[in-house]
Structure 1
Amino acid sequence: MKTLLVFQIFVSAAFGWRVFHLGKFWGPKTPVQPASSFPDLWFDQKLDHFDPTNSETWKQRYFVNDNYYEKGGPVFLMIGGEGKADPIWMEQGMWVEYAKQFKALCFQVEHRFYGKSHPTKDMSVKNLVYLSSEQALADLSFFIRSMNKKYSLSKRVQWVTFGGSYPGSLSAWMRLKYPHLVHAAVSASGPLLAVADFSEYMRVVRDSLATHSEECVTSVQEANRQLDILLRHRIGQQKVDKLFNLCDTVVDVSKNDISNLYENLAGNFAGVVQYNKDNRLFEGAKDANITIDVVCDVMTNSSIGSAITRYAAVNDLLLKTYEQKCLDYKYDNMIKGYQNVSWDSSTAAGGRQWMYQTCTEFGFYQTSTQPTQPFGNQFPLDFFIQQCSDIYGPRYNKELLSSGILRTNVMYGALQVEVNRVVFVHGSIDPWHALGITKSDNNDAPAIYINGTAHCANMYPESSADPPQLTAARHSITGLLAQWLQPSSRSVRFRPM
Structure 2
Amino acid sequence: MAVRVLVLFLCKVSLFLQLGVIVVAEGRFYGFRKFHVDSSQRAGSEEQWFTQKLDHFNGADSRVWKQRYFINESFYKSGGPVFLMIGGEGPANPGWMQNGTWLTYAEKLGALCLMLEHRFYGKSHPTGDLSTDSLRFLSSRQALADLAHFRTVMGESLGLTHSRWVAFGGSYPGSLAAWFRLKYPHLVHASVATSAPVYATVNFPEYLEVVWRSLASENVECPVLVKKASDTIAELLKDPETFDNVTKDFNLCSKLQIQNPMDSGYFLEMLAGNFMDVVQYNEDNREFEGVVGGNITIKVLCAVMGDTSLGDPYARYAAVARLMMDAFSLKCLDPSFSNYTRDMTNSSWDGPAAGGGRQWVYQTCSEFGFYQSTDSPNQPFTGFPLGYQLKQCAAFYNISAEQVAEAVAQTNEYYGGYDIRSSRIVFPNGSIDPWHALGITQDIVADLPAVFIKGTAHCANMYPARSQDLPQLSLARDHIFILLQQWLKQ
TM-score by length of 1: 0.93
The CA distance in 2 between the partners of 1:154 and 1:407, in whole Å, is 32
Tell me the equivalent position of 2:465.
Answer: 462
Letter in 2 for 1:460: Y
1:167 paired to 2:167: no
Q: Structure 2: how far apart are the matches of 1:32 and 1:467? A: 31
Of the three residues 112, 116, 119, the one matched with 1:112 is 119
Percent identical residues: 48
- Mapped to 2, the partners of 1:174 and 1:32 lie a distance apart of 28
Q: Contact 2:200 / 2:368 at 8 angstroms: preserved in 1?
A: yes
Cα deviations by residue, 1:275-295 (Å, 9 ceiling, x for unpaired): 000000111110211100011
Q: Which moved more, 1:8-17 or 1:230-239?
A: 8-17
2:387 corresponding residue in structure 1: 382
Counterpart CA distance in 2 for 1:401 and 1:226 is: 32
Query: CA separation in 1, counterparts of 2:22 and 2:430?
Result: 25
List gaps (5 residues or longer) in structure 2: 27-34
Counterpart-to-counterpart distance in 2, 1:60 and 1:46: 10
d(CA) in 1 for partners of 2:359, 2:257: 32
Query: Would you say 1:446 and 2:449 are equivalent positions?
Result: yes
| Residue 340 (structure 1) aligns with | 346
CA contact (8 A) 2:430 2:459 kept: yes
Matched length: 480
1:224 aligned residue: 230
2:177 is paired with a residue of what secondary structure?
Answer: helix
The 8 Å contact of residues 9 and 92 in structure 2, kept in 1 or not, is answered as: yes
Matches of 2:389 and 2:185, distance apart in 1:
36
Name the counterpart of 2:104: 97
The reply on whether 1:77 has 2:84 as its aligned counterpart is yes
Q: Which residue of 2 aligns with 1:241?
A: 247
Distance (Å, rounded) in 2 between the aligned partners of 1:247 and 1:167: 35
Q: CA deviation at 1:345?
A: 1.4
Describe the SS at the equivalent of 2:427. Answer: strand
Is the 1:76–1:105 contact (alpha carbons within 8 Å) kept by the matching residues of 2? yes
Change (3 A) 1:247 1:184: same
Cα displacement (A) at 1:238: 1.6
Choose 312-321 or 108-117, whichever is displaced more: 312-321
The Cα offsets for residues 377-430 of structure 1, whole Å up to 9 and x where unpaired, read as: x1111111111111112xx01111011101100000000111110000100000
For 1:125, the equivalent position in structure 2 comes to 132
Could you say what the CA RMSD is over the residues aligned between the two structures, in angstroms?
A: 1.8
Q: By how many angstroms is 1:441 displaced?
A: 4.2
Matches within 5 A, 1:331-370: 331-370=337-376
Name 1:9's counterpart in structure 2: 6
Secondary structure in structure 2 of the residue aligned to 1:348: coil
Conserved 8 A contact 2:367-2:411: yes
In structure 2, the CA distance between the partners of 1:16 and 1:345, relative to structure 1 (3 Å rule), is same
Q: Unpaired runs of 5+ in structure 1?
A: 488-497
**3-state DSSP class of the match of 2:329?**
coil
Structure 1 residue 167 displacement after superposition: 0.1
Aligned counterpart in structure 1 of residue 213 of structure 2, from 207, 211, 232: 207
Which residue matches 2:189?
Answer: 183
CA distance change for structure 1 residues 154 and 129 in 2, over 3 Å: closer, same or farther?
closer
Q: Quote how far apart the aligned CAs of 1:217 are.
A: 1.1
The separation in 2 between residues aligned to 1:268 and 1:383, in whole angstroms, is: 19
Match status 1:482 vs 2:485 = yes
1:264 corresponds to: 270
Report the equivalent of 1:56.
63
1:78–1:65 CA distance, 2 compared to 1 (3 A)? same
Q: 1:30 to 1:406 in 2, by over 3 A?
A: closer
> What SS does structure 1 have at the residue aligned with 2:193?
strand
The residue identity in structure 2 corresponding to 1:142 is H
Corresponding position of 1:473: 476
Deviation at 1:344, TM superposition (A): 1.0
- Within the candidate set 142, 156, 169, 1:135 is matched to 142
Letter in 1 for 2:131: S
* Structure 2 CA distance for aligned equivalents of residues 353 and 23 of structure 1: 19
Q: 2:323 aligns with which of 317, 334, 355?
A: 317
Q: Which amino acid aligns with 1:418?
A: R
Distance, in Å, in 2 between the alignment partners of 1:262 and 1:42 is 42
Deviates more, 1:432-441 or 1:19-28: 19-28
Q: Secondary structure at the match of 1:176?
A: helix
User: 1:119 & 1:277 partners in 2: Cα distance?
Assistant: 36
Q: 1:63 to 1:142 in 2, by over 3 A?
A: same
Contact between 1:196 and 1:362, CA under 8 Å: does it hold in 2?
Answer: yes
Aligned to 2:314: 308
Q: CA deviation at 1:30?
A: 7.3
Please tell me whether residue 434 in structure 1 is matched to residue 428 in structure 2: no
Identify the range of structure 1 (222-231 vs 107-116) with the bigger mean alpha-carbon deviation.
222-231
Cα distance in 2 for partners of 1:123, 1:33 equals 25
Cα-to-partner distance string for 1:447-496 (whole Å, 9 max, x where unaligned)? 00000000000000001110000000000001000000037xxxxxxxxx
What pairs with 1:255-294 in structure 2 (closer than 5 Å)? 255-294=261-300
State the shift of 1:31 in Å: 3.3
Q: Deviations over 1:426-451 (max 9, x none)?
A: 00000000001000141101000000
Q: Cα distance, 1:374 vs. partner?
A: 1.3
Determine helix, strand or coil for the equivalent of 1:423: strand
How far off its partner does 1:20 sit? 8.6
Compute the TM-score of the two structures, normalised by the length of structure 2: 0.95
